[in-house]
Chain A
Amino acid sequence: MKPFTYERARSPAEAATAAARQPGARFIAGGTNLLDLMKLQIETPAHLIDVNGLGLDRIEATDEGGLRIGALVRNTDLASDERVRRDYGVLSRALLAGASGQLRNKATTAGNLLQRTRCPYFYDTAQPCNKRQPGSGCAAIGGITRQLAVIGSSEACIATHPSDMAVAMRALDAVVETVKADGSTRRIPIAEFHRLPGDTPHMETTLEAGEFITAVTLPPPAGGRHFYRKVRDRASYAFALVSVAAVVQRDGTGRVALGGVAHKPWRVEAAEAELPRGARQAMSAILTGARPTHDNAFKVKLAERTLAAVLAEARG
């Protein structure tokens, strides 16, 4: 870990201003991913802005009938919120499927969105990685790829996004609210929040430098039955091989987002028209253009079978 200076911000705007003032500054909230990466010098901020005191830890009803989730709401608290449990079960389930009790107590809503990949080559600083060190190459391609992306990947990067929460939020059409150093705010639909790797896998979101997440809003409840099915080798405390977030209506229509398959939560809205025809048709449309490796080709079949199990449960 490189030495850094440390300050506690008192307002979102002040946090954004501080970040703009100090090159190499990073916000820290839960810190469960950032500190992990700082110990390995994968992240090397010169200045940390502690945003835990900003009071962004409330979940409020919006005028539209949805929910506004403060950026600092802890994963445990979001998963436990009665409105979330009742109306956005997929989100509660996704959060509870992620990490461990200790991590969920610390990790925040915004931090969860900003998690970085768990690709083992990203984590090993002796290996080339375009995400960690742009232009150095990708050691994962041709290497151990069982956990890595099957779709949306590039010649530069085949990493996956590790979040469960973000997959559910993608299915729910969440919107990320931010503030910039100049005080301006914007609302980023979650579909546009995470990027595919392309030639710039080190750029993972559409946030600008210093831009600060203040909240995530959920639209009014979509109804239907909510599922988050996470498939992994051990029964808990592991990242997904494949996960399926689904909201299924009585008539068999619905929405599906996948985790564990791409550099971002993977959802193809156009493919959802196929849902009433069954998992095979739907997944074949969702994963059109998949380019799996020998080691992770099973994820395509696994995604289809997992969706089939979810749809069967939705019918039952």
Chain B
Amino acid sequence: MANVSIRVNGEGRALTVDTRTTLLDALREHLQLTGSKKGCDHGQCGACTVMVGGRRIYSCLTLAVMHEGEEVTTIEGLGQPGNLHPMQAAFVKHDGYQCGYCTPGQICASVAALDEIKAGIPSHVTADLTTAPQVTFEEIRERMSGNICRCGAYSNIVDAITEVAGRQA
């Protein structure tokens, strides 16, 4: 067992965890923040996506003890029913989900993906590496490809993200 303090959604949380406990299980089982989902536990689906220090990662492939003092943002930190984050509201409006299990991961990933475009981080589909990437359908689809939606809501998810990106621009 090990002690670790993590800031989760702006709040300091002191935890005593097994060294083997992933950040995902620390969130879901210890803090009972079950919005981050376990779809595969092997970094193959994206349902566990959270932001650490503002960057999106798979929380299933990192240990809780490795995040001492770091700032973790989960879906619960983005917005709540009645106080939805613009991305959450856009997902509802565009029906960008079905069963809902991949949805928190999709939303966390999409918020971070738009930040990555703003920060000038290129992607596989960026035509010219020497210029800043733009918000296009193709860029969004590529950048969201680490989040599987087996229900197949992709087309609607991209509509939701595009709307939010347009509002931000």
Contact = CB atoms under 8 A, between A and B. Distances in A.
Interface of A: 1, 3-6, 28, 31-32, 35-36, 38-39, 48, 50, 52, 76, 79-80, 85-86, 89, 92-93, 96-97, 99-103, 105-106, 235-237
Given A35-B22, A39-B42, A100-B146, A85 B61 contact: no
11 contacts: A31-B61, A31-B66, A38-B20, A50-B66, A76-B121, A86-B130, A96-B122, A101-B109, A101-B123, A103-B43, A235-B145
A105 B124 contact: no
B142 A106 contact: no
B130 A31 contact: no
Interface in B40-60: 41-43, 46, 49, 55-58
Nearest to B40: A36
A99 B146 contact: yes
Given A31-B66, A76-B121, A102-B57, A93 B43 contact: no
B5 interface: no
A114 to B, nearest CB: 15
Interface of B: 2, 18-20, 22, 41-43, 46, 49, 55-58, 61-63, 65-66, 109, 112-113, 116, 120-124, 126, 129-130, 142-143, 145-148
B119 to A, nearest CB: 8
Contacts of B46: 100, 102
Contacts, number: 100
B121 A80 contact: yes
Contacts of B62: 31-32, 35, 106
A52 B65 CA distance: 12
B61 A106 contact: yes
B22 A101 contact: no
B105 to A, nearest CB: 9
A99 B43 CA distance: 10
A236 B129 contact: no
Given A28-B63, A100-B145, 14 more contacts: A32-B62, A35-B22, A38-B20, A76-B121, A79-B121, A86-B129, A86-B130, A96-B122, A97-B124, A99-B146, A101-B112, A103-B43, A106-B57, A106-B61
A31 B120 contact: no
B20 A4 contact: yes
Contacts of B49: 102
Contacts of A4: 19-20
7 A-B pairs closest in CB distance: A100-B146, A236-B145, A85-B129, A96-B124, A237-B145, A105-B55, A6-B19
